[in-house]
Structure 1
Amino acid sequence: MRIYLSRPHMSGHEELRVAEAFASNFVAPLGPQLDAFEAKITEYLGADVHCIGLCSGSAALHLALRIAGVGRGDEVWISSMTFAGGIFPVNYLGAKPRFFDLSAESWTIDTEILGDELAKAAKNNRLPKAIVPTDLYGQSVAIDTLEALAAQYDVRLILDSAESLGATYTDGRKAGSGGDAAILSFNGNKIITTSGGGMLVTRHKAWADEARFLATQARDPAPHYEHSTLGYNYRLSNICAAIGLGQMEVLDDRVARRREIFARYKLALEAPGISFMPEPEDHHSTRWLTALTIDPNETGSTREDIRLMLLEHQIESRPLWKPMHIQPLYAGSDYHGSGVDEQIFDHGLCLPSGSDMSNEQQDEVIERIKQLLASRK
């Protein structure tokens, strides 16, 4: 049987919620299940925020950037190691990305480099319109430092929390509740899923109102279809929201299981040449995917050796995100850092981490990796 990297894991509550939507005939984009899902996320985050259910995390980022005033020629400073959907919306608006390296201690955006560059940019009157740091693989960013920098330089802070619902910041707040806005993803491979979907979370009511307006084709109040600005068909389906309601029943359980999977991998495999993604003190990562690095000089095996071996045995693994500044699409883009993200990409691998993976399946992954490593010594 194939072992997947991270597949959807249903709880049993979803069918009831979907049945309620069908029974009420709310199968159109909006409805009570969507309202309830937004309210449930708001309650879970435990903060004074507004939640807008959307068709994807990328749609959420697109709206957040537009509402933040990002436009043609503006700069957006962003983590280089991220998924493409976490950067493309910058280009949709005609803005220019400036990429930043990771901290080796957290694998999230290096706030020292960011702070230095903000100081230089302020002197030269070229501050960015927005900063978009990524909560990588479920690890939340250094929120206090980032919010302080954003306030100091009067720059909008939009958090890419697509991979970290269920994590906490160092001050105890839930990931996804900070900054001017945050984006969440409910894609099929995330901690919880709506099959496809996302959410914009913001503490600004005006931002939330504008996001709802823009996401429903920017239809002005009128008995006919009246439009005075460009809008999008970005709202989350009521049926998909019903799935999300069922998934929220088990979010904390899913996070706990993924953390358990990470801990089992780390205990079994950590050795000279094999290092796991760090978790800074007072952080609580979702461990969405178990990420590690393999040093071929010490282990005799590369990341690709292990990935291809696992694939031969129907076990899915994946390299880490390739940093955007070395992607062909962004060749020549501005980048600040020493290449920590490049090194992590060169040697990094994500192991199967789905919350429905059995201990027996995980043991198979572990044993096959151990056998390969032993054969190379």
Structure 2
Amino acid sequence: MPALRRKIYLSPPHLDVNELKMIHEALQSNWIAPLGPHVDRFEQEIAASVGAKGAVALSSGTAAIHLALRLAGVQPNDKVLCSTLTFVASANPILYERAVPVFIDSEPDSWNMCPSALARACADLERRGELPKAAVVVDLYGQSANMTEITRICSHYGIVVIEDAAEALGALHSGKACGTLGDFGIYSFNGNKIITTSGGGMLVSDDTEALERARFWALQARDPARHYEHSQLGFNYRLSNLLASVGRGQLVNLDRKVMLRRQIFQRYVDRLSHLPGVSFMPETIGDRSTRWLTALTVDQAEANVSNIDLLNALERVDIEARPVWKPLHRQPLFDGYAYYPYSEEQSVSDELFSQGICLPSGSGLTEEEQNEVIDTILEVFEKGNQAFRQKGDWR
């Protein structure tokens, strides 16, 4: 019997020899707690890599968003603007602070926060005397939002910009690193991200004084005293030295991992873009996406198959794929919160969710594995069109 092939995952970790060397060094030093030389070096190396003045290594990207919201001065009942087409972790910290999320639709050009919808929301909320304290702007699937226009709008209204670049470490907007385009930037090092620490995140900023406050809060806000003294609310949010060593080992290969994901994206485009009804996530002119995940849409009216047909077919042959994020304004958790669509006639994020699919895109994906994904998709399209022809409707 032929050997069973391993499952093809969406975005698994991609490890090398560097990580083992760094972990061994951390273990030998006996520094495995949420402090240590690898944490310090990891912060310095990330800051240098993206061109930020400072960084704080944390237990997750979610923790980084939470601390950024606190640094922005968000209080209970304050409004916070947030991209709707994203993972729930982008908005959950808003609720941690008992603030009120206001969701903003995507634009077709980037799939990210729509500047015109953002401007409408800001003007509307200003008229009500409810101007938001902060905006959480997501760089979806490694593609930068239109941060030039978004930061211009937010600056006009005095809104702190928190750039959720969890999926965009290594991406560029107008030549500048994603995560450094707002007041605070967020990276995630979850196991499925471009580089991983198993679990972790980073808060970056040019405001080094604010970063020191975040570092203080992340260590349970322990005041300087011989005994344990606490005058502020703190959190157990620091990254361990052991995990930071993994991140340092991963970071040296960041450019290569981004290159590999971009090559994977291009192979999908080369093999699948001719199919009727298929459109790939765009890359805006002047930007560089990491292509963390290859995302595309399928127009069933043109394709005679749907994104669900593709998901089911891939699942049957043990290939992991996912729908595009379900918009947060459609999530039961956020029922009743305000939402500003792209226009009165169109909600771009809802359209993307109804047609979108994300394909296996890990930097360790082999060409043979990718060909299996592609061949499965081609087979679904062929079967769909055969059935259409048999109905006598084929043109």
TM-score range for the pair, normalised by the shorter chain length: over 0.9
Kindly indicate whether residue 334 of structure 2 is the aligned counterpart of residue 330 of structure 1.
Answer: yes
Once the two structures are overlaid, the 10-residue window that deviates more, 291-300 or 111-120, is 111-120
Kindly indicate whether residue 374 of structure 2 is the aligned counterpart of residue 366 of structure 1.
Answer: yes
Kindly indicate whether residue 224 of structure 2 is the aligned counterpart of residue 216 of structure 1.
Answer: no
Per-residue deviation, residues 177-198 of structure 1 (Å, max 9, x unmatched):
1211011100000000000000
Out of 308, 314, 325, which is 1:321 matched to? 325
Q: Note the C-alpha offset of 1:125.
A: 2.4
Q: Is the 8 A contact 1:54 1:198 kept in 2?
A: yes
Out of 177, 182, 189, which is 2:185 matched to? 182
How many percent of aligned residue pairs carry the same amino acid? 47
Query: What is residue 41 of structure 2 aligned with on the other side?
Result: 36
Q: Is the 8 A contact 1:306 1:372 kept in 2?
A: yes
Once the two structures are overlaid, the 10-residue window that deviates more, 263-272 or 72-81, is 263-272
- What are the equivalent positions in structure 2 for 1:185-196 lying under 5 Å apart? 185-196=188-199
Separation in 2, partners of 1:304, 1:117: 33
Separation in 2, partners of 1:46, 1:226: 35
Separation in 2, partners of 1:308, 1:76: 37
Out of 346, 349, 359, which is 2:357 matched to? 349
Separation in 1, partners of 2:42, 2:16: 16
Query: What is residue 267 of structure 1 aligned with on the other side?
Result: 270
Secondary structure in 1 aligned to 2:17? coil
Query: What is residue 15 of structure 2 aligned with on the other side?
Result: 10
Separation in 1, partners of 2:366, 2:251: 21
Separation in 2, partners of 1:331, 1:314: 34
Query: What is residue 102 of structure 1 aligned with on the other side?
Result: 106
- Matched residue type, 2:60: S
Query: What is residue 280 of structure 1 aligned with on the other side?
Result: 284
RMSD: 0.9
Out of 58, 78, 89, which is 2:93 matched to? 89
Q: Note the C-alpha offset of 1:116.
A: 2.5
Q: Is the 8 A contact 1:11 1:250 kept in 2?
A: no
- Matched residue type, 2:350: E
- Matched residue type, 1:82: T
Secondary structure in 1 aligned to 2:173? coil
Kindly indicate whether residue 150 of structure 2 is the aligned counterpart of residue 146 of structure 1.
Answer: yes
Q: Is the 8 A contact 2:78 2:130 kept in 1?
A: no
- What are the equivalent positions in structure 2 for 1:124-203 lying under 5 Å apart? 124-170=128-174, 172-203=175-206
Query: What is residue 388 of structure 2 aligned with on the other side?
Result: none
Per-residue deviation, residues 310-363 of structure 1 (Å, max 9, x unmatched):
111010000111000011111121000131000100110000001101001101
- Matched residue type, 1:372: V
Separation in 1, partners of 2:86, 2:376: 29
Q: Note the C-alpha offset of 1:46.
A: 2.0
Out of 109, 117, 137, which is 2:121 matched to? 117
Q: Is the 8 A contact 1:18 1:242 kept in 2?
A: yes
Q: Is the 8 A contact 1:274 1:293 kept in 2?
A: yes
Structure 2 unaligned residues grouped into runs of 5+: 1-5, 386-395
Separation in 2, partners of 1:68, 1:314: 44
Kindly indicate whether residue 254 of structure 2 is the aligned counterpart of residue 251 of structure 1.
Answer: yes
Structure 1 unaligned residues grouped into runs of 5+: none
Separation in 2, partners of 1:376, 1:22: 55
Q: Note the C-alpha offset of 1:11.
A: 2.0
TM-score when normalising by structure 2: 0.94
Separation in 2, partners of 1:122, 1:304: 41
Per-residue deviation, residues 80-135 of structure 1 (Å, max 9, x unmatched):
11111111000000000000100011101000111232233333322101011100
Aligned length: 375
Secondary structure in 2 aligned to 1:309? helix
Separation in 1, partners of 2:250, 2:377: 32
